[in-house]
């Protein structure tokens, strides 16, 4: 009886293939968990109200209702609300990215008494829920006459964001000290060093921070609902509060269709900036 043995290098190849198969299976499962809710949202936007309310659940629409998207677009001033959301998101994302980069540069490269304590307080403020600061924030803006204007988003943008400051601080701390020392020898101040040397090299973190900040502002419902009137309000508020019947009951299929159109700009921005976003998140903190 002859026993055939595998080539010496075949066992490692088999293990590699098994590991890849397991890895791909896990990736597909995780992708399904993330894509599943969006897919269900799309299907809900293609159903009738009766199919959405049916029990047991109708997983697929009996007759695809493509007109739901057109109805959701035309029943409200969709482009007007989208324009308001875009203006607010661009203002906030641009200002908060630059201000967070400046603050992160200061924490990373400057020395001052109590710097570590201030940075700890800044990071600790990330644990405060938004609801705690909502009432005092509204009272401050009401006293300053900024309710029903976009000035709150300008001030929020100039105030920087703790999480983005952390990202920039970690990135700037990893840059070699020789860059800074050579610029100082050439007569550059810290402002010039930041704008002409450090900021141009931080494009991955800039891209990631801009996408994160834009998503925060675009998806915010509470602040626009509290601070803005109906004409100046954002698409998030309009989608949640406008598609209702005369009795005040939400029209779920139109809300779902409008929500799909509401999410599309964020997906496009991420697809365009995904290389910088991934690079910024993966290189932050690496020296």
Q: How many Cβ atoms sit within 10 Å of the Cβ of residue 255?
A: 22
The more confidently predicted of residues 49 and 100 is 100
Query: What is the DSSP secondary structure assignment for residue 194, as one 8-state letter?
Result: I
The whole-angstrom separation of Cα 209 and Cα 147 is 27
Query: What is the DSSP secondary structure assignment for residue 286, as one 8-state letter?
Result: -
- Class of residue 75 by CB neighbours under 10 A (exposed 0-12, middle 13-18, buried 19+): middle
Residue 143: per-residue pLDDT:
94
Mean pLDDT for all residues in the chain: 86
Largest CA distance in the chain: 95
* C-alpha R_g of the chain: 25
pLDDT digits (tens, 9 = 90+) for 147-191: 999 999 999 999 999 999 999 999 998 888 888 888 888 888 888
The more confidently predicted of residues 49 and 102 is 102
* Structure-block tokens of residue 198: 């450090």
224 close to 217: Cβ distance less than 8 angstroms? no
Q: How confident is the model at residue 131 (pLDDT cuts 50, 70, 90)?
A: confident
- CA-nearest of 222, 228, 260, 229 to 243 is 260
Average of pLDDT values for 58-65? Answer: 85
The whole-angstrom separation of Cα 232 and Cα 80 is 9
Residue 8: per-residue pLDDT:
57
């Amino acid at each position: 009886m002859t026993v055939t043995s595998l080539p010496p290098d075949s066992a490692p190849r088999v293990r590699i293939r098994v590991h890849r198969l397991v890895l791909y299976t896990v990736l597909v499962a995780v992708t399904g968990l993330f894509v599943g809710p969006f897919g269900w949202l799309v299907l809900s936007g293609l159903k009738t109200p009766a199919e959405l309310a049916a029990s047991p659940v109708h997983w697929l629409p009996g007759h695809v209702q493509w007109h739901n998207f057109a109805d959701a677009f035309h029943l409200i001033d969709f482009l007007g609300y989208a324009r308001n959301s875009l203006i607010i998101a661009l203002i906030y994302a641009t200002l908060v990215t630059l201000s967070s980069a400046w603050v992160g540069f200061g924490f990373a490269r400057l020395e001052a008494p109590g710097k570590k304590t201030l940075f700890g307080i800044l990071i600790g403020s990330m644990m405060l829920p938004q609801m705690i600061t909502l009432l005092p924030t509204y009272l401050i803006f009401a006293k300053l006459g900024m309710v029903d204007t976009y000035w709150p988003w300008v001030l929020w943008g100039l105030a920087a964001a703790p999480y983005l400051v952390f990202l920039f601080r970690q990135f700037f701390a990893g840059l070699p000290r020789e860059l800074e020392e050579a610029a100082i020898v050439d007569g550059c101040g810290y402002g010039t060093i930041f704008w002409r040397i450090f900021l141009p090299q931080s494009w991955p973190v800039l891209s990631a921070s801009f996408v994160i900040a834009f998503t925060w502002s675009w998806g915010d419902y509470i602040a626009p609902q509290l601070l803005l009137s109906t004409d100046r309000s954002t698409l998030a508020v309009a989608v949640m509060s406008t598609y209702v019947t005369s009795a005040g009951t939400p029209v779920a299929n139109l809300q779902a269709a409008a929500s799909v159109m509401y999410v599309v700009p964020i997906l496009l921005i991420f697809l365009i900036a995904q290389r910088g976003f991934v690079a910024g998140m993966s290189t932050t903190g690496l020296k």
